[in-house]
Chains A and B, each alone.
Chain A
């Protein structure tokens, strides 16, 4: 297993277009997280899944954002009607926890998808 994989690595899109990113977690990991990071800032939480269930969403995740993890494996993050303020690095991470209330001991992050909206 080569870790958390994100595609594409870079995406340039015109304002108003829709974009979709894909994340493939470490195969035995049951939790998957999406974060957004802008230049000079730390990652900001967007949402996370345990298997296919979306357990928490940030208020940052407006109606234009949707995330899915249909079979509890890979996940997609879609942004509709992109705006220049959506330009950022979108990071995916995964972890393994033993129960719904279980804690993980740190995530493994992918290298991210860098989105530029022009």
Chain B
């Protein structure tokens, strides 16, 4: 079993929809949680960063972490065609290590 599980999709939604992306994990030591967006043939781009449990909002994006359930989410409001990309969750224990463990990524398509 992988440390981080993420539904690969693809997820296809109409423009303006609310998108929910999720990851589950097994390592209770993880305490730093990130979401990256990756366009085709590009490197991942950091979208959201959260420490421990709770919510964080940035514009149309909201990240949620529920450590008790080992479950993290990214919500995208008023989705746009330019949001079409692969969304990767990543996490780190952050104790004596700086490496990130990534999910497989969810491919999102927003159609006009």
A interface residue numbers (CB < 8 A to B): 4, 31, 33, 40-45, 48, 55-56, 58, 91, 93, 95, 97, 101, 103-112
Give the total of B residues in contact with A, Cβ under 8 Å.
26
Q: How far is the CB of B99 from chain A (nearest CB, A)?
A: 4
Residues of A within 8 A of B8 (CB): 40
Residue in contact with A106 in the complex, picked from B34, B43, B96, CB distance below 8 Å: B34
Q: How far is the CB of A101 from chain B (nearest CB, A)?
A: 8
Residue in contact with A48 in the complex, picked from B42, B88, B99, CB distance below 8 Å: B99
B interface residue numbers (CB < 8 A to A): 4, 6, 8, 32, 34, 36, 41-46, 49, 88, 90, 94, 96-105
Main secondary structure of the interface of A (DSSP, over half): loop
Residues of A within 8 A of B43 (CB): 4, 91, 93, 109-112
Residues of A within 8 A of B34 (CB): 106
Given contacts A31-B98, A103-B32, contact A111 B42 (CB under 8 A): yes
Q: How far is the CB of A110 from chain B (nearest CB, A)?
A: 5
Q: How far is the CB of A114 from chain B (nearest CB, A)?
A: 8
- List the 8 closest A-B pairs by CB distance, nearest first: A42-B102, A109-B43, A106-B46, A45-B99, A111-B43, A106-B49, A109-B44, A43-B102
